[in-house]
Amino acid sequence: MKRNTKVSTAVIRRLPRYYRHLSELQESGVVRISSGALGKSMGLTASQIRQDLFCFGGFGQQGYGYKVDLLKEEIGEILGISRGHTLIVLGTGNLGRAIIQNFRFSANGFDLLAAFDIDPRVVGTRIAGVPVRHTDELEAFIAGNRVDVALLTVPIAAAQRMGDRLAAAGVRGIWNFTNYELACARQDVIVESVHFSDSLLALSYMISQQEGVEEEL
């Protein structure tokens, strides 16, 4: 499979959607699907599907479509799901605890090693089987364990400080839920920020536009 290293961000953002949708199709018993049917079920065009997949090599056969299980496996490989990535969580408040308890890390190729907090009420306990350590142990833990990604759910006031500690300790990626834009001094550390307000405001815009059309009618 030929892989293009110059893939647009938009295509990369769609890959997890493909993987999730193909997983759902596989679970429902679908064995084969055309680009047209796949696009229709995802709200994309068949041309967009083919263009996106072409960035990573040839998939499927003309007139035959895609084998769901094989395409899912190929996209999973592109996404690095089989590489055994590891992750820790910093902050076990309401959001951190909810993510630990409900997010399927293993299904996305990540092994959740530990969580960290400063609250003496949770340090030394377990959340959904995950041990909670004190943040004073953070650097020592990273030094003794390969940690690829840190999920950050600490208060905004502590976000940059914890981000700096993670980068200095050698973490390769930060999944940032703090609603604070981290300034990372190291170029080799990737920060993926999740802003719930962005998604809500985008929804607000679309609802407003729909209301405007209805008023015109």
What is the number of alpha carbons within 13 Å of residue 24 lying toward its C-beta? 9
* 208 located within any domain: no
Q: Residue 216: pLDDT above 80?
A: no
Average pLDDT over the chain, rounded to whole? Answer: 90
| Amino acid at the residue 160 | Q
Are residues 17 and 101 located together in one domain of the fold?
A: no
DSSP, residue by residue, 130-164: EEEEEGGGHHHHHHHS---EEEE-S-HHHHHHHHH
Identify the domain boundary among 47, 77, 107. Answer: 77
- Calculate the alpha carbon distances from 4 to 56, 66, 83, 110 in Å: 6, 20, 19, 24
Are residues 110 and 186 located together in one domain of the fold?
A: yes
Q: Residue 1: pLDDT above 60?
A: no
Other beta carbons within 10 angstroms of residue 9's beta carbon come to 7
Element (H, E) at 113: strand 110-117
Mean pLDDT of 82-105: 95
Q: Cβ distance 169 to 139 under 8 Å?
A: yes
Are residues 89 and 191 located together in one domain of the fold?
A: yes
% the chain with pLDDT above 90 = 66
Q: Residue 5: pLDDT above 70?
A: no
Confidence of residue 210 (pLDDT cuts 50, 70, 90): confident
Q: Residue 40: pLDDT above 60?
A: yes
Counted domains in the chain: 2
The tens digit of pLDDT for each residue in 75-88 reads 999 888 888 899 99
